[in-house]
C-alpha cells in the first residue's frame, strides 16, 4: 500500500512550491525546521491521500513518520486522526500512546497544530491530564507545543483550567513558536470568556513575551489592546 501512496506523492510533487515551503518552514541550518524536506504538496491533497489510505497499518504509519519528507509525516498524522475518529476506547488509547512515543517526529508547527487537539486533546477530555504538564516541561520544542495546542480540545468544551496552567509554565519560554502557540490558545479562551483571559493578563502581562501578548489580545478592541501594550 505504501508503494501506491508513494506513486501519488510523486505525481503531485511541485518543485516550486517545495522551494517556497523550505523557506517558509525554516529548514535552513540552525533554524527550527532544519533538515525538513518538502515535496510541495498542498494540505488539501495530503488530506485526500490520507482518507484514501486510512487503512494503513500502524507499522506503515510508523514508516511514514520516520521519513525526512514533511508531507509523509503529515499524511501519517492525518491517517492517525482518521483512525482515531472511528476507534473504540482501547484503540484510541493505543493511538494516543503511539502519538506520544513519536512526539519528536511531529517536528514542525503545522504537524502539531493539525493533529494534537484531535488526538491528544480529544483523548484527554474525560481523563487525567498529567502527561501534558510533563510535555510542557520538556526540553523539546515540539513536545512543549503539543502540550499547549492539545488544550484547544478543552477550550472547545469551555474548559480553560489546563490551558491557563500550562500557559503559566510556558510563560518564560524563549522560543517564538511557543509564544505564538500560548498567545493563540489564550485568544481562543478570550473568545469564549473574556473575563478569564483578562484575569490571566492582569496577573501575567508584565512577564509575557510581546508576541504572546499581541496574539492573546488580538480580538480586543483597539483601546483595550493599546492599554495592555502601553502599560
Please check the confidence at residue 229 and state whether its pLDDT lies above 90: yes
Nine cell digits for residue 138: 520538556
Q: Do residue 111 and residue 203 come from a single domain?
A: yes
Q: Determine the Cα–Cα distance for residues 29 and 52; give it in Å rounded to an integer.
A: 35
**Angle (deg, nearest 10), helices 161-169 and 141-149:** 160
Please check the confidence at residue 85 and state whether its pLDDT lies above 90: yes
Domain termination site, one of 32, 54, 86 = 86
Domain termination site, one of 86, 120, 138 = 86
Residue range 64-88: average pLDDT?
97
**Structurally, how many domains does the chain consist of?**
2
CA dist list (Å): 34 to 21, 24, 40: 12, 12, 17
Is residue 21 situated within a structural domain? yes
From the centroid of its chain, how far is CA 99?
12
> What DSSP element (H or E) covers 142?
helix 141-149
**pTM score, whole prediction:** 0.95
Is residue 92 situated within a structural domain? no
- Residues 42-56 have pLDDT tens digits of 999 999 999 999 999
* pLDDT the model gives residue 21: 96
Average pLDDT, the chain: 97
Amino acid at each position: 500500500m505504501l508503494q501506491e501512496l508513494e506513486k501519488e506523492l510523486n505525481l503531485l510533487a511541485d518543485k516550486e512550491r517545495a522551494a517556497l515551503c523550505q523557506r517558509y518552514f525554516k529548514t535552513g541550518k540552525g533554524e527550527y525546521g532544519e533538515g525538513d524536506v518538502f515535496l510541495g504538496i498542498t494540505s488539501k491533497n495530503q488530506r485526500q491521500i490520507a482518507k484514501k489510505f486510512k487503512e494503513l497499518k500502524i507499522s506503515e504509519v510508523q514508516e511514514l513518520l520516520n521519513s525526512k519528507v514533511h508531507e509523509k509525516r503529515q499524511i501519517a498524522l492525518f491517517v492517525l486522526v482518521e483512525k482515531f475518529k472511528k476507534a473504540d476506547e482501547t484503540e484510541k488509547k493505543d493511538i494516543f500512546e503511539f502519538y506520544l512515543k513519536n512526539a519528536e517526529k511531529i517536528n514542525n508547527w503545522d504537524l502539531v497544530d493539525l493533529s494534537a487537539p484531535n488526538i491528544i486533546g480529544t483523548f484527554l477530555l474525560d481523563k487525567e491530564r498529567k502527561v501534558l504538564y510533563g510535555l510542557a516541561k520538556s526540553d523539546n520544542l515540539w513536545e512543549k507545543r503539543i502540550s499547549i495546542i492539545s488544550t484547544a480540545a478543552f477550550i472547545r468544551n469551555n474548559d480553560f483550567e489546563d490551558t491557563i496552567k500550562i500557559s503559566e509554565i510556558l510563560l518564560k519560554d524563549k522560543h517564538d513558536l511557543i509564544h505564538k502557540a500560548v498567545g493563540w490558545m489564550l485568544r481562543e479562551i478570550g473568545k469564549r470568556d473574556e473575563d478569564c483571559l483578562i484575569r490571566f493578563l492582569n496577573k501575567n502581562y508584565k512577564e509575557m513575551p510581546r508576541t504572546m501578548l499581541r496574539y492573546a489580545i488580538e480580538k480586543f478592541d483597539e483601546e483595550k489592546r493599546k492599554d495592555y501594550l502601553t502599560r
